[in-house]
Amino acid sequence: MLSEEILFLSVTELSKRIRGKQLSPVELTESYLARSRDLGPKLNAYATLTRDLAMKQAHAAEAEIKAGKYRGPLHGIPYAAKDLLAVKGYPTTWGARPYVDQHFDYDATVIRKLESAGAVLLGKAAMIELAGGMGYRYASASATGAARNPWNTDCWTCGSSSGSAAITGAGLAAFAIGTETWGSIICPSGFCGLSGLRPTYGRVSRAGAMALSYTMDKIGPITRSADDCDLVLQAISGHDDGDLGSLPDASAKYNGVGEVKGKLRIGWLENQWKEVSPEVEKPTQAARQVLAKNSSVVMSKVSLPEGPWEIAAGVIISVEGAAAFSKLIQSGRVSELNDPLGQVGGYMNEELSASDFILAQRIRTVVQARMDEIFHKVDVLATPSLPVTATKVDANLDLALTFADPIGGIGNFCGLPAISVPCGFGDHGLPVSLQFIGRALDDDKVIQAARIFQAQTDWHKKRPKLQ
Amino acid sequence: MPKFLLGRRQFTLGAAAAATAALIHPGETLAQTAGTLAELDQKTRNAMAKLTPQGRAEAEAKIANIFRKYGDRLSEEQKADIRRIMAETQEGLDKMRAFPLENSDQPADAFRAYRHEAAPEKTRGGKR
C-alpha cells in the first residue's frame, strides 16, 4: 500500500514518476482500490468499483510503459467517472433507484478517450439522482445515500457530482470526471477544496452520457490542481459526431495552455453574491490581493448585466429535463426517487409552455452577446465559488442554500468555461474557493488564471485528515 | 448543484421549491418538510396574492392540469407542495416574459438544414 503522500499527489506529479518508472501503475491502482474499499463506503463516494477492469488496464499500462510505449501524462493514472457515463459491463445507474439495474453495451466517448490515453478506471462515482434533474431538497437525493465531505464527514460534498468530489478529495483516485448543467462541478469542487473545470459547452462529447439538458450539459474534470485540469481536458476534448452539441474539431480540441502573451486581465465581479459569509469573505479577499500583486495580472472591477437570466436558464433545464425523462415522469416511477422534490418536480416541469421555452432561448442569445462584450474588456471574471462553506449533510437545501447565483446561471446558460480552485479555509476547517469564468473557448485562460494563483499559494496541496 | 425547476431564487438546482411537506419514507414526515399543510397553503395564498389576475389564472390552470393528469398518484402534502411551488414560480415567468425582445431576436438553438454526404452509419442505442 502506497503512502498518502503518494496517493494525494497531483496527476502531473504521478505521471512524472510513472514515466520515470519510479512508480508502478499496478501498485498505484491497487493502493487506490484498497483505499476506495476502506474509505469509499464511509463517504458514500462510489456507486460501483470496477476492480477487474482497473487491474486489467493497470497491467496493460505497466507493460506498455516497460516496453517503451508511453501514451502521455494520463498513462497508468487511476480515475473515477460519474455514474451517468456508460461503461460496458457495469451498471450505469444515473444515481437513481429506478435505474439501478441499467446496463449499456458500449462505453461513453469520454470513457473511450481516457482509455486511449491509458488512464485506469477505478469505479463509477456516486451522484445526485438524475443529476438533480427532477429537483432535490436533501443531500440524500441519491441511490447511494448522501455523499460526505472528506474535510468533515458531517458535511455534504455538494452535488450533483458528489461522489466525484468525495473521491478526489479523499485521495481515492488521482482525479474524477464530473458533469455540470448548473453548478455540479463548481459547487462540489468548492465545498471540497478541489480544482474543478467546467469546459466550454460542446468541447467535450456527451455521447454515452445521461442527458438532462441537451443544451446545457457539460462534462469536465475534478482534480487536485489547475495543471491537472489542463491535462485531462486535453485528453477528453474534441469533436464527436455522436453528440449534436459537439463543436467542430478545430474549436472542440483543446491543446493546453499555451505561451502567455501579455498580462491576464481579471475582472472581479462586483454583483455576483448579495451576501458573502465572513468566513468566506476573508480568504477570498486575501486571494484577490494575491492576484492583484502578481505582475502578470491586471485587476479591475466588473458588473454582470441585469436581466432574467437565471429564470430563463431554469426554464431551459426544466423543459429539456421534462422531455429527457418524460417516460419516467409519465410512468409514475419518479415516486421511486429518494427526494421529496424529485418525486413531484417532473410533473411541474411538464407544465412549462413551448412559447416560454422559445422565449428563454431568445433571451439566451441576448445575454450571450452581452457577456461577450464584457470579455472584450477582461480575459476572465473572478468571484468566490460560493458565498458559504459546505452545508450539513442533513440540511434542507431550500433553507441552507437560498441565494441567487447569477454567474452560475449566466455561465451555464451561455456555455462559458469556469474553474474553481481552493483559496483558504473557513472557521470550521472547511474549504473556501475562488472561481474564474472565461469567454467561450477560453478554457486556457481560466486555467491560466488558476495556475497563476496556484503558483503563488499552496491551498490546493492541503489534504483532509481521514481515518 | 444546478438550479432547475423554473429557475427560482434558490441556489440549489431543483430546489426551486422553498420547502414543503412531501413524503420521503414512512415515518419521515415533519423532519423532512418545511411546514404543515396549513403553512404551505398560507405560502401559496401569499404567492398568489402577488400575481396579476392573468398570472393567477395561469398558475391555477396549470395546477389543475397536473392534478387532472397525476392527482391519483399524489398525497395531500405533495399537492400542497405543488400548489405552493407553481404559485411561487409564476412570478418568475411573468418577469421573464416582460424582458424586452425584438421580433428579430432569434432563439439560441437555431435550426440548421442537414445534409450528410457519406452513407448513413448504423447507430447504437443511446447514441445520437
pLDDT in tens, A292-309: 999 999 999 999 999 999
From chain A, pick out residues whose CB is under 8 angstroms from the CB of B105.
362, 365-366
Residues 11-50 of B with CB under 8 A from A: 11-20, 22-24, 32-34
Show which residues of A are catalytic: 82, 160, 184
Given a cut of 90, whether residue A419 has pLDDT beyond it is yes
Of B1, B3, B17, the CB nearest to A158: B1
Find the DSSP H helices in A350-456: 354-377, 397-400, 406-413, 443-456
Contact B4 A187 (CB under 8 A): no
Which is nearest to B89 in space by CA: B11, B1, B18, B12? B18
Q: Across residues A360-381, what is the average pLDDT? A: 97
Given a cut of 90, whether residue A438 has pLDDT beyond it is yes
* Packing angle of the helix pair A25-43, A51-66 (nearest 10 deg): 160
Contact A106 B18 (CB under 8 A): no
Q: What is the pLDDT of residue A231?
A: 98
Nearest chain A Cα distance for residue B8, angstroms: 6
- HSE, CB side, 13 Å, CA atoms: give it for residue A348: 36
Helix/strand/coil for B6: coil
Q: What are the tens digits of pLDDT across the range A57-92?
A: 999 999 999 999 999 999 999 999 999 999 999 999
Nearest chain A Cα distance for residue B6, angstroms: 5
Given a cut of 70, whether residue B29 has pLDDT beyond it is no
CA distance A71 to A120: 13
Of B4, B12, B16, the CB nearest to A133: B4
Q: What is the pLDDT of residue A309?
A: 97
Given a cut of 90, whether residue A461 has pLDDT beyond it is yes
Q: What is the pLDDT of residue B125?
A: 52
Q: What is the pLDDT of residue B36?
A: 81
pTM as predicted? 0.93
Q: What is the pLDDT of residue A382?
A: 98
Indicate left, alpha or beta for A287 from its phi (over 0: left) and psi (-120 to 50: alpha): alpha
CA distance A438 to A302: 13
Residues 342-381 of A with CB under 8 A from B: 342-345, 347-352, 356, 358-366, 368
Helix/strand/coil for A389: coil
Show the cell assigned to A214. 441537451
CB pairs under 8 A between A and B: 240
Rounded to 10 degrees, the C-alpha dihedral A368/A369/A372/A377 comes to -140
Question: What are the phi and psi torsion angles at A430 (to 5°)?
Answer: -95, 145
Which is nearest to A342 in space by CA: A136, A159, A164? A136
Contact A317 B2 (CB under 8 A): yes
Question: For chain A, what is the largest distance between any 2 Cα atoms, rounded to a whole number of angstroms?
Answer: 61
Q: CA A248 → CA A154, A198, A204, A255, B73, distances in Å?
A: 44, 19, 11, 14, 46
Q: What is the pLDDT of residue B39?
A: 86
Q: What type of residue sits at position A432? A: V
* ipTM greater than cut 0.85: yes
Contact B89, B5 (CB under 8 A): yes
Contact A315 B9 (CB under 8 A): no
Of A106, A244, A343, the CB nearest to B22: A343
Nearest chain A Cα distance for residue B61, angstroms: 10
Of B4, B11, B93, the CB nearest to A317: B4
Mutate to test the interface with B, among A341, A361, A403 (most CBs of B within 10 A): A341
Contact A314 B4 (CB under 8 A): yes
Contact A440, A284 (CB under 8 A): no
Contact B10 A402 (CB under 8 A): yes
Given a cut of 80, whether residue B11 has pLDDT beyond it is no
